[in-house]
Every structure is written in C-alpha cells, then in structure tokens.
Amino acid sequence: MSTASGTSNPEYVVARVRARKASLFGDDDYRKLVRMGPAEIARQMEESTYEDEINALGARYSGVDLVEYALNRDLAGQFDDVLGWTEGRLYDLIARYLRKFDAWNVKTVIRGLYSNVDRETVEADLIRAGEFSDRQVDRLLNAGSIEGVVEVLDGTLYGGPLADALEEYEDAGVLVPLENAVDRAYYEQLLANLVVDEATEMYREFLTAEIDFRNARNGLRLARSGADLDPAAYYIDGGRLFSASELSALSESRDELLARIRDSVYGDQLDNALTVVEETESLIGFERALETALQSYADRLGVVHPLSVTPVVSYILAKEREVDNIRAIARGREAGLSPERIEAELVVL
Amino acid sequence: MAEDVKPTRKNLMEIEDRIELSERGHDTLEQKRDGLIMEFMDILDQAKDVRSDLNEDYDHAQETINMARAVEGDVAVRGAAAALKEHPEITSQSKNIMGVVVPQIESSRVRKRLDERGYGLLGSSSRIDETAEAYEELIETIVLAAEVETAMRKMLEEIEKTKRRVNALEFKLLPDLRKNQEYIEQKLEEQEREEIFRLKKIKAKKEEEASEAAEAEREADETAEEPERVSADD
C-alpha cells in the first residue's frame, strides 16, 4: 500500500493515468448514449471498460440502478488504483482530493444509522474511492450507532470534528452538525500545509476555486432561503473570495453578493451565469456554470507541467466527469427526457 | 295504494296534514338543493384550480427530482431525504356547509427553512434544495386538494341525497297522498250521496207508511159508520 512517505513517482503514475484517460468516453460516445435507453446504456458499458462491474452487479441490479452502481464501483476501483500507484508527496496531493469519498462514506453511514436503513443498502451506496481501507469502511458499517461511528473514526481526519459536533447533534436531533463537521474537515484539509511550488500552483488555484465556489453557492442558497445561520455552518476557510464575516453579511443581500462575485477574479468566467441568477430565482444554472468553470481549470491542469500532480488530478476530474455524465444520461433517459434536453441540461459535451 | 286507505274523514284530515307538511318539506329541500348546487359550483371551480395546480406541482416536483437524481445521483438524493427529522403533520377538523360536514385539513411543518431540512449545507447543492422545495409545495397542494375534493365529494353526495328526497316527494309521496286524498274525498262524497239517497228512501217509505196508515184509519172509520145507519132505518 502506498503512503505519503518516500519519493514521489510522477513519471510512472502519469504514464498510467494517460493510458486510462485515453480510454475515457468521448463526446461521440456521449452523443450515442443520449439516444439510448437505460438497458442499452448498460449493454454499451458492458462493451467498454465497465465490463467487469456490469457483469459483477448484473445479477443484483438492473436498468439505471445497475448503471449507477457500476459507475460508482468503477470509479472506486480506478481511484484506488491511482492511490495505489502514487508514493510520497504525490500521494499526499492526490489523497487530499480523494478524501471527499471518505467524507461521502462517513456521511452515508451516519445517514443510514440515523434513518435505520439496513446495512446492505448502506453498503451499496458507498463509494470506496477514498483513502479508507476496506477494513476501515467495514468497521464503519459495523459501528451500529452514530456514537460508534465517531469512535471508529477516532484518530482520523474526521474523528475530532465529529466528536465536537456530537453534543450539538444530540441536542438538536438533526444531522446537520455532523454532516457539516465531516464536510468542513474535508474542505479544510484540502489546502492545509500544502507546500506550493511551480507545479502545484495551479492545483492550489483549482482547490481555492473549489472552496470559493462552494462558499459562493452556499451564500446564494442562504440568501435565497432567508434562513439565518451561523457562518460556521456553511463557510469554509481557505478561499480568497470572502471572509466568514463578509459572507455572513453578504448572504443577507443577494444583489450585493452577486455584485461581489461579479467584481471578483471569477467575474468574467461566471458573467453569464450571474446574469441568469439575477433574472431568475433558480440557482441551478449558476451551479452548472461553477462546475463548468472548475472543469476548465481541470482541463488546463492536464496540459501544464506534464510530470507533476496536475495530469493525475486532471485524470481524476475527467473520470468523475465521465461518471457524472453517464449517470446523468441514464437517469435522464429513464425519466423520459429528450436527448436535446439532456445535452442542454446535464452533459457538458 | 289508494284502496288501502280507509276512506274516513279522520284519515282525510291526516292526509291533508301530511300533504301540507310534504309540500313545505319539498320547497325547503328544493331550496337546499339549489343552495348546495351553488356552493358545489364554487367548490368545483376551486377544485378545478387545485387539481390543475396539483398536476403542475407534481410534474414540476418529478422533473426536479429526476434532474437531481441525474446530476447528483440517486444515492445523494436518497441520503438528503433520509436526513429529515421533523416530518409534516396533518390535523383534520370539520366545518359545516349548509348542513354538510366537510373536513378542514391543516398541515404544519411542511415548508422548511434550509437549516431545518436535516442535510448539511456544505455537502449538498441547490438542486437538492429546489427538489425539497418542489416537494414541500406539492405536499401543501395535495393537502389542499384532499380538503377541497373531499368537500366536493361530500357536497355531491348530499346533493344527490337531497335530489332523491325532492324527487321522492315530488313524484312519489305527494302524488300518492293526493291520490289518497282524492280517493277518500270521492268515497266520502259517494257515502254522502248514498246517505242522502238512503234518507230520502226512508223518508219516502215513512211517508208511504203514514199515508197507508191514514188510509186504513179512514177506511175503518167508514166501516164503523155504515151499521149505525142501517139500524136507525129499521
């Protein structure tokens, strides 16, 4: 198993991920998929790199569920491979981003326990693509109670924050403090102690943009809902766009918040999306624009500094995009959406 | 059946009372029916609007959840839904519209603020928010539709019942009573005529008997006077 100790091996990892990236679905594949039904999509996936997952899950699931679970399992396998190949500082940089799947798994287990969902269903919903080993994930699944989960996570990134949030959870009886603690722990470790050099500068820019965009969308969601929340519940440190007090003040006035984003370094990229938000109540278009902006960062990551962390991160983001796109197409087709609508609403071709 | 009724004056009076009562009841029920129909038409308009809102809200909610499941994934949507603790509550009271008891359904804790939905803000998106909002709106419309459509159904049942009563009075009970009334009146008239005829007969008979008695008396008197005259001549 790889660790953060030792020397980085970007040459080897980059060569491996380049080969993997070359086999990702392209625009033409998506254009074909948007005209297929869920069963045809599953069959098409069976003829691609998803063959093993489709065959392994085919007996248990069918239709769109089969597609979604196969995508999740493949994503987990691919990222597990990437983490397995990397060593040294490169491992640390990649693991920072992939820990979002650990956060996802912790939240899924907690939600399952909270709503008394059986173990098998919770297990099916996990994406084992993060840093946690299978043994750790199994211990989480066997924890039996939310307090047990917190105990199992003691000593990990999430243990401390969850233990702090446990009292608030017990008082309020809602999952918000626990979920926020997990998400905050993930976001805050993204940039913590990050040693930046020329090769990792763009990666840091990408992570900073992700935090800024998360803060911006949460501020706008809050402004839209009218809820009066403690900034600690939604603000993430590490961005360059807002401080906690600024975001708290701005989230009371949507117009001021939009003006602030427009005047920021992201203003040009998000100009059209901001106009849409000003004209309509919905934030969905804005979030889509944020995702597109992050993707353009990811695309740029792939072509600069070819022997560094950036091509690896670019592959990870491209793989995530592929999974999102195929799932969106399959679910969209299942819901009876037209190919044009799916292309316009869901997939960035 | 008119023949079943005893043609007595007492029955006639009873039937006349029942006719009067039934006519009053018929008028009242007709007014009630018309009033109910007017109320029903108002509720019908409201129900049509609510039904159209319900269809619209359902389509919108389905579309948003389909989009959320497509973009965020089914697992994320289910996870966000599972985080909800405070489920909506429905309370039902009743109100009276022209004698019809209709439900008054009230829902509470349906619409929730962002911080009341149970899922964390940091790990979710506005697609989840908008899906939750769409379903909150749909639940409110369902509750309203349940209230209006139940009221409409109950009004309709009451209108039907009132209509059946009006028709029963108009086409069955009142005609039967009137027939009975007519029958008794005819019978009574007939009895009266028979009585008069009988009385006349009796009177005629009595007169005849009286004249016969008078004749017999007169003849007896004449017979008695004849021997007296013969002895005198002797």
Are A51 and A115 within one domain?
no
B77 touching A (Cβ < 8 Å): no
Are A140 and A224 within one domain?
no
pLDDT in tens, A112-141: 888 888 888 888 889 999 999 999 999 999
The answer as to whether A155 is a domain residue is yes
Number of domains in chain A: 3
To the nearest 10 degrees (0 to 180), the angle between helices A284-303 and A309-334 is 140
Q: Which of B66, B67, B83 sits opposite A175 (nearest CB)?
A: B83
Are A303 and A326 within one domain?
no
Residue A347 pLDDT exceeds 60: no
pLDDT in tens, A86-101: 998 899 999 999 999 9
Are A237 and A182 within one domain?
no
Residue A3 pLDDT exceeds 60: no
Are A178 and A107 within one domain?
yes
* Mutate which: B121, B128, B133, vs A, most A CBs within 10 A: B121
**ipTM of this predicted structure:** 0.78
Q: Which of B75, B115, B120 sits opposite A227 (nearest CB)?
A: B115
Lowest mean pLDDT among A5-9, A78-82, B1-5, B215-219: B1-5
- What is the pLDDT, as a whole number, of residue B147? 92
CB contact under 8 A, B126 and A180: no
Residue A349 pLDDT exceeds 70: no
Residue B110 pLDDT exceeds 80: yes
Listed by number, the residues of chain B in 191-220 with a beta carbon closer than 8 Å to a beta carbon of chain A are none
Choose one of A193, A228, A260: the last residue of a domain: A193
CB contact under 8 A, B66 and A175: no
Q: Which of B69, B79, B122 sits opposite A331 (nearest CB)?
A: B69
Tell me the average pLDDT across B113-123: 81
CA distances, A35 to each of A29, A166, A331, A336, A343 (Å): 10, 48, 13, 11, 10
Within 10 angstroms of residue B210's Cβ, the number of other Cβ atoms is 10
The answer as to whether A6 is a domain residue is no
pLDDT in tens, A325-342: 898 899 888 888 888 888
B25 touching A (Cβ < 8 Å): no
Q: Which of B69, B123, B130 sits opposite A179 (nearest CB)?
A: B123
Q: Is A25 helix (H, G, I), strand (E, B) or coil?
A: coil
Are A295 and A228 within one domain?
yes
The answer as to whether A40 is a domain residue is yes
Choose one of A193, A210, A227: the last residue of a domain: A193
Q: Which of A173, A227, A287 sits opposite B113 (nearest CB)?
A: A227
CB contact under 8 A, B74 and A65: yes
The answer as to whether A76 is a domain residue is yes
- Highest mean pLDDT out of A260-274, B163-177, B220-234: B163-177
Q: Which of B63, B82, B114 sits opposite A221 (nearest CB)?
A: B114
Residue B15 banded pLDDT, cuts 50, 70, 90: very high
Euclidean distance between CA atoms A183 and A234, whole angstroms: 10
* Mutate which: A106, A111, A128, A222, vs B, most B CBs within 10 A: A111
The answer as to whether A157 is a domain residue is yes
Percent of all residues in chain A with a pLDDT value above 90, rounded to a whole number? 30
Residue A346 banded pLDDT, cuts 50, 70, 90: low
Give me the helices (H) in chain A, please: 10-22, 27-33, 38-46, 51-57, 63-85, 88-114, 119-125, 134-141, 146-152, 159-172, 176-191, 198-225, 244-250, 254-262, 267-279, 284-303, 309-334, 339-345
The answer as to whether A112 is a domain residue is yes
B170-181 b/e with 16+ CB inside 10 Å = b?
eeebbebbeebb
Q: Which of B67, B82, B130 sits opposite A111 (nearest CB)?
A: B82
The answer as to whether A262 is a domain residue is yes
Q: Which residues of A touch B115 (CB under 8 A)?
A: 176, 227, 229, 233
In Å, how far is A99's CA from the nearest CA of chain B?
A: 13
Token pair for B82: 């599972």
The answer to whether the beta carbons of residues A270 and A293 sit under 8 Å apart is yes
Are A78 and A144 within one domain?
no
In Å, how far is A9's CA from the nearest CA of chain B?
A: 32
Tell me the average pLDDT across A195-222: 85
Euclidean distance between CA atoms B217 and B199, whole angstroms: 26
The answer to whether the beta carbons of residues A311 and B46 sit under 8 Å apart is no
Residue A2 pLDDT exceeds 80: no
Instruction: Give the HSE-up count for residue A101: Cα atoms under 13 Å, Cβ half-sphere.
Output: 26
The answer as to whether A12 is a domain residue is no
Q: Is B104 helix (H, G, I), strand (E, B) or coil?
A: strand
CB contact under 8 A, B122 and A217: no
Are A263 and A326 within one domain?
no
In B, minimum Cα distance to A281 occurs at: B130
For the full predicted model, state whether its pTM sits above 0.80.
no
- What is the pLDDT, as a whole number, of residue A298? 75
CB contact under 8 A, A327 and B73: yes
Are A225 and A300 within one domain?
yes
CB contact under 8 A, B122 and A327: no
Are A241 and A264 within one domain?
yes
Are A112 and A187 within one domain?
yes
Identify the residue with better confidence: B105 or B21.
Answer: B21
CA angle A169, A174, A175 (to 5 degrees): 80
CB contact under 8 A, B121 and A229: yes
B79 touching A (Cβ < 8 Å): yes
Are A213 and A294 within one domain?
yes
Euclidean distance between CA atoms B179 and A176, whole angstroms: 80
**CATH (domain of A30):** 1.10.132.50
Bridge partners of residue B93, in order along the sequence: B104
In Å, how far is A249's CA from the nearest CA of chain B?
A: 17
B109 touching A (Cβ < 8 Å): no
CB contact under 8 A, A233 and B114: no
Q: Which of A115, A234, A342 sits opposite B82 (nearest CB)?
A: A115
Q: Which of B71, B82, B122 sits opposite A328 (nearest CB)?
A: B71
**CATH (domain of A275):** 1.20.1690.10
CB contact under 8 A, B120 and A114: no
Residues spanned by the domain of A158: 100-193
- What is the pLDDT, as a whole number, of residue A1? 46
Q: Which residues of B touch A171 (CB under 8 A)?
A: none
Choose one of A161, A193, A225: the last residue of a domain: A193
Q: How many helices and strands (H and E) does chain B possess?
A: 4, 2
In Å, how far is B54's CA from the nearest CA of chain A?
A: 19
Q: Which residues of B touch A184 (CB under 8 A)?
A: 122
Identify the residue with better confidence: B226 or B122.
Answer: B122
* Mutate which: A69, A72, A168, A284, vs B, most B CBs within 10 A: A284
Tell me the average pLDDT across B49-78: 89
